[in-house]
Amino acid sequence: MLAWTAPEVPHVLGSAPILEVFNTSSGRKEPTAPADKANAPASLYVCGITPYDATHMGHAATYVTFDLMHRTWLDNGRTVSYTQNITDVDDPLLERANATGVDWRDLAADQVQLFREDMQALNVIPPQNYVGAVESIDWLVPFIEQMLAEDVAYRVPAGDDGVEGDIYFDSAKAANGAWELGRVSGYDRKTMTEFFAERGGDPWREGKRDALDPLLWRAAREGEPSWDGRSLGTGRPGWHIECSVIARKTLPAPFTVQGGGSDLIFPHHEFSAGHAAAVDGKELATLYAHTGMVGLDGEKMSKSLGNLVLVSKLRADGVDPMAIRAALLSQHYRSDWFWTDELLARAQQRIATWRERIHGAGLAEATALLTRIRARMADDLNAPAALEAVDQWAQTEAEGSGEGAELIRNGLDALLGLKL
């Protein structure tokens, strides 16, 4: 699928330490490159949207976070392969389409287009591979066929609706050196069970070998879209297999970082990793990075609750997208936080102050500022601390008459994606 137009990312002289990122799987901060190969190619997979509603601040915070990772790697002189999916067929999308009387394909296409516009406005570098679930069905069928052949997948007898042919993943049999249940999330069984039911799983389905086994292939049902799955029968893919297969088809195995919001740790990233490892015996990614949840008025911002602040709405109201981006950057990506009007107002104020101060920037102060920003970003993408460094610089007496302005402008763009 077409992504969006790539922004020019300025190249800035100087060097930065290797980026370290908190790995959910190990519970520690880890370098994203070997010490002796600081500029080794990097690869990133970030779980994309389910396009049934517009981009809210939670989505934006997540994609801007991984954009910071992308930019930090580019600044380290690394080539970056980046894949993002679009879950363009799944229960919530079909339910919304049915409820609103819109064709699910039109709903998805409209929302993906709005997402592209939001991402472009926020100066997010697009993925090279932007792949829809529907587009990946031909890739995914042979994966599931192989899993069935190796008995790490199995057919479940018809449930209440009498439909035969649903295929599930055998979590216990699939355990191998590269994955076992809990490898990614580290959660105990009780926590897994809770999240599985809350986040699209069906622990109650009869005939499964383990209540936590996830769906790989859903046999065709009346009124639901379906595709030819060869020996699987007609149907549509489960959710986790979509991301494993798209990642395996477009990135190295393992790739460097698997990313998404913390709501995806379990079951989604757990089983995406499990499916891939079951097929080729390799880990999905070397590191799993997760963003905290953004909320509004005391609740997680979510399409199902409807408590949303939309990027497109703020843009339509004339808010500078760079102020939106600065507001997102003002909170650490790993914390859960709440969007407020005050955060946006403060970001607008900061941008205005910086735009004013830059005219007097000298070269030495510019170089010193970039060094500070690089150090903070290399330490688990500490964007709030990087913005504080910019604030501190802006409070100092100007040392020049603009010789350093271009360097600061380029640096803030290259490293933070902020255009002054």
Residues within the interface to ligand 5CA (CB under 6 A): 47-50, 58-59, 61-62, 85, 87, 243, 260-261, 263-264, 291, 293-294, 300-302
Q: Which segment (137-145, 183-191, 238-246, 381-389) binds Zn ion by CB under 5 A?
A: 238-246
265 lines the binding site for Zn ion (CB under 5 A): no
Rank residues 21 and 301 by Cβ distance to ligand 5CA and give the closer one. Answer: 301
Rank residues 229 and 237 by Cβ distance to Zn ion and give the closer one. Answer: 237
Contacts of 137 by beta carbon, 8 Å cutoff, 6+ apart = 227, 229, 236, 237
247 lines the binding site for Zn ion (CB under 5 A): no
289 lines the binding site for Zn ion (CB under 5 A): no
Interface characters, 35-74, with Zn ion (x: CB under 5 A): ------------x---------------------------
- Pull the structure tokens for residue 261: 């919001």
Q: What share of the chain is helix, strand, coil (3-state, %, to 5)?
A: 45, 15, 40
110-130 residues labelled b (16+ CB within 10 A) or e (exposed) = ebbebbbebbbbbbbbbbebb
Q: Pick from ligand 5CA, Zn ion, none: which does 381 bind, CB < 5 to 8 A by kind?
A: none
CB of 384 to Zn ion, least distance (A): 27
CA 272 – CA 208 distance, rounded (Å): 19
CB of 236 to Zn ion, least distance (A): 16
Rank residues 76 and 83 by Cβ distance to ligand 5CA and give the closer one. Answer: 83
Rank residues 128 and 371 by Cβ distance to Zn ion and give the closer one. Answer: 128
Any idea how long the chain is?
420
CA 80 – CA 69 distance, rounded (Å): 10
Q: Pick from ligand 5CA, Zn ion, none: which does 152 bind, CB < 5 to 8 A by kind?
A: none
Residue 355, SS3 per DSSP: helix
CA 136 – CA 116 distance, rounded (Å): 20
Rank residues 286 and 371 by Cβ distance to Zn ion and give the closer one. Answer: 286
To which H or E segment does residue 407 belong? helix 405-411
- Binding residues for Zn ion, rule: CB under 5 A, are 47, 243
